[in-house]
Structure 1
Amino acid sequence: MDKKKVLMIISQENFRDEELAHPKEVFLQKGFEVVIAAGEKKEAHGSYGAKVMPDITIADAAKEKYDAMVVVGGNGASQYLWGNQTVLGMVRAHHAAGRPLGAICIAPVVLARAGLIKGVEATMYKSPDTVAEFKKHGVNTSDKDVVTSGSIVTANGPAAARKFGLAVAELM
């Protein structure tokens, strides 16, 4: 049987290092294949110095199917991912197929903008922008560090990254 594949979507610049590293580590320990996607297939940079060569571009990743999909947070998510129509389409299609979908830190705004968590309990890193986005899109904001609502897992930031990875893995 083929390994289960997890797509981790990161921003080209300023993704949060631990929010990629810790869930990725969990997924690899569980025996899953991890594919990292960014806007371009060139070195991506984390907020704290991580350097990652994406395996695939977001555009190419959109043509594939994955067992789970995770949108990584960090300050770059608002610039590179929140309004990315390809990413919004990918998360909608993935969710429609009933497969596990996760977003951490400020990345749950992607799920809110995609219309996937309206009226649903979810969490995120609280900033004026994320709070406004959740309110605008009718999300039931939780103060928990990790929230699982159906096939969607959200987490509020780097301290919850490992717990977040485990919660996504549990749904696979």
Structure 2
Amino acid sequence: MSKKKVAVILSGCGVYDGSEIHEATLTMLAIARAGGEYSIFAPDMEQHHVINHLTGEEMPEKRNVLVEAARIARGKIQSLSDYQARDFDALMLPGGFGAAKNLCTFAFDGPDCNVHPEVERAIRETNAAGKPIGALCIAPVILAKVLGQGKITIGSDPETAKAVTTMGGTHVETTHAEVVTDEQLKIATTPCYMLDATIDQIAQGAENVVKAVFSMIKD
């Protein structure tokens, strides 16, 4: 039996302005441990801003999302414009503020946010092909915005949950490592660092959401 192929979309490198590194890395590990293989993608675009992760302050410089995400990918990464749903069995979106600042504008515009065109295309094409999508942390809001429906979780934050509802989604409150699966839309989500979590709880969440996604892949 051939290995399941999963595309992972990153949004930079670092929780405050890119991909959350624990979530990204542990998602890749979970895919490998489940017997799959992953390919990494990121949009070739300028980050919204650059944050000093030591002080939390904005830095007076510019960085590229694809170039930064390549740090996590160890250089083995492709522009999201190259993504084709037909080449993969599933799609995964780890969280981090980059998902809400670079992949979309949710961090600034809430339910009125815009989604990066390449991110929207990847989600729509994957969904239209009947292939599952997994999302962690804040990334599920992108699915709610693009699909305009779906049962998802971002944990228990009331304001974010309200925004999900405004965008057409149905929010389910969850705690550590719990996964909400919408079988009809083939989407699976888990809260991760939307809660006050430890790295082992993130690992369990990543493992559980990957397991849910793999269960929806057609043989």
TM-score per shorter chain, which class?
0.7 to 0.9
Q: Percent identity?
A: 30
CA drift at 1:5:
1.1
CA radius of gyration, larger in: 2
Measured in 1, the distance between the counterparts of 2:151 and 2:162 equals: 15
Gaps of 5+ in 1: none
In the comparison of the two structures, how many residue pairs are matched?
A: 166
For residue 151 of structure 2, the aligned residue among 121, 125, 129 is: 121
TM-score by length of 1: 0.84
Please tell me whether the aligned partners of residues 42 and 54 of structure 1 are also in contact (alpha carbons under 8 angstroms).
no
CA drift at 1:69:
0.3
Give the match's secondary structure for 1:143. Answer: coil
Measured in 1, the distance between the counterparts of 2:156 and 2:103 equals: 17
CA drift at 1:147:
0.6
Match of 1:35 in 2: 39
- Aligned in 2, Cα 1:75/1:106: closer, same or farther, shift over 3 Å? same
Give the match's secondary structure for 1:99. Answer: coil
Match of 2:102 in 1: 80
Gaps of 5+ in 2: 45-65, 105-114, 194-201
Give the match's secondary structure for 1:148. Answer: strand
User: Which protein is richer in helix relative to its size?
Assistant: 2
Match of 2:11 in 1: 11
Measured in 2, the distance between the counterparts of 1:55 and 1:44 equals: 8
AA in 1 matched with 2:192: G
CA drift at 1:146:
0.9
Match of 2:69 in 1: 44
CA deviations over 1:60-97 (Å, ceiling 9, x no partner):
12476310001111111111112211111211111111
For residue 164 of structure 1, the aligned residue among 206, 209, 219 is: 209
Q: Once structures 1 and 2 are overlaid, which stretch shifts more, 129-138 or 105-114?
A: 129-138
TM-score by length of 2: 0.67
Match of 2:26 in 1: 22
Measured in 1, the distance between the counterparts of 2:125 and 2:23 equals: 23
The two structures, once aligned, show a CA RMSD in angstroms of 2.3
Matches within 5 A, 1:57-96: 57-62=79-84, 65-82=87-104, 83-96=115-128
Runs of 4+ more than 4 Å apart: 125-129
For residue 108 of structure 1, the aligned residue among 140, 157, 164 is: 140
Measured in 2, the distance between the counterparts of 1:142 and 1:63 equals: 28
- Aligned in 2, Cα 1:63/1:140: closer, same or farther, shift over 3 Å? closer
Give the match's secondary structure for 2:24. Answer: helix
AA in 2 matched with 1:142: V
CA deviations over 1:31-57 (Å, ceiling 9, x no partner):
322001112342428xxxx73335211
Q: Once structures 1 and 2 are overlaid, which stretch shifts more, 19-28 or 101-110?
A: 19-28
User: Which protein is richer in strand relative to its size?
Assistant: 1
